[in-house]
């Protein structure tokens, strides 16, 4: 990943002691019409195998209890605080709202000390989620259900996303991350802008789901 823009926002002064974290969000149907949102994380370098052996759940939220987009925005702010803290390798002196830890608590006793004697730390590496999760979490105005479907280019109904010729009009423009932010209305910015290292390019895509969404649009 050396040379990629998102690296500039990360503290990689000790790469051999830094674990790259992937954050995953998914809406999961649990019973009939009931649904939950699961926030989890794992190392980018995790071994292959059962995801339950490699992922740690951060939060489970009933969809009926979600206030969109405020709930997901709050989670984004919490994850931003977590990532900033993990980069330092040091236990925080306050909670994510800036409040001091209760006197005598485990958190207050650990505050200011290193996580481990070897001074391990973690940093953001990527966000993963299906198309619905990306739209919900990052408040994408450019998405598979909109007239403009792509956050990376102007592909849409006017510049046909079904045109795959080498000189297709949509292929001549590529949005930078700053272009992407500038194109969003102020109230539709992702709360993940505060997560060190997050860029639209770090929303890793599920190729299978993208193809399915495209086929549904075309046919």
**Distances in Å between the alpha carbon of 73 and those of 66, 78, 82, 176?**
11, 9, 14, 23
Residue 47, pLDDT score? 67
Burial 16-52 (b: 16+ CB within 10 A, else e): eebebbbbbbebeeeeeeeebbbbbbbeeeeeeeeee
Question: Using CA atoms, how far apart are residues 75 and 92, in angstroms rounded to an integer?
Answer: 18
Take residue 133 and report the two structure tokens written for it. 């999760």
Task: For residues 146 and 144, give the distance between their C-alpha atoms in angstroms, rounded to a whole number.
Answer: 6
What does the pLDDT look like over 141-185, one tens digit per residue?
998 888 898 899 988 888 788 888 888 888 888 999 999 999 999
Q: Which residue blocks in the chain are alpha helix, DSSP H?
A: 70-88, 106-110, 131-138, 177-183, 207-218
3-state secondary structure of 160: strand
- Predicted pLDDT of residue 102: 96
Residues of the chain whose pLDDT is less than 50?
Answer: 208, 211-216, 218-219
Beta bridge partners of 3: none
CB atoms under 10 Å from CB of 91, counted, come to 17
pLDDT at 48: 66
């Amino acid at each position: 990943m050396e040379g990629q823009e998102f690296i500039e926002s990360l503290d990689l002064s000790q790469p051999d002691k830094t674990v790259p974290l992937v954050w995953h969000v998914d809406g999961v149907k649990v019973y009939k019409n009931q649904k939950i949102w699961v926030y989890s994380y794992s190392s980018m370098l995790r071994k292959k195998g059962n995801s339950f052996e490699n992922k740690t759940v951060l939060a489970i939220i009933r969809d009926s209890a979600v206030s969109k987009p405020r709930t997901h925005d709050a989670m984004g702010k919490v994850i931003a605080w977590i990532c900033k803290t993990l980069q330092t390798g040091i236990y925080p002196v306050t909670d994510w709202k800036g409040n001091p830890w209760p006197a005598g608590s485990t958190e207050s006793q650990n505050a200011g000390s290193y996580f481990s004697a070897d001074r391990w730390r973690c940093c953001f590496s990527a966000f993963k989620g299906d198309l619905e999760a990306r739209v919900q979490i990052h408040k994408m105005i450019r998405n598979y259900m909109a007239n403009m479907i792509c956050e990376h280019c102007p592909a849409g109904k006017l510049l046909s996303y079904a045109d795959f010729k080498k000189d297709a009009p949509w292929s001549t423009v590529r949005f930078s991350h700053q272009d992407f932010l500038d194109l969003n209305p102020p109230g539709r910015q992702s709360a993940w802008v505060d997560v060190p290292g997050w860029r639209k390019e770090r929303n890793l895509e599920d190729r299978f789901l993208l193809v399915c969404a495209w086929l549904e649009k075309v046919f």
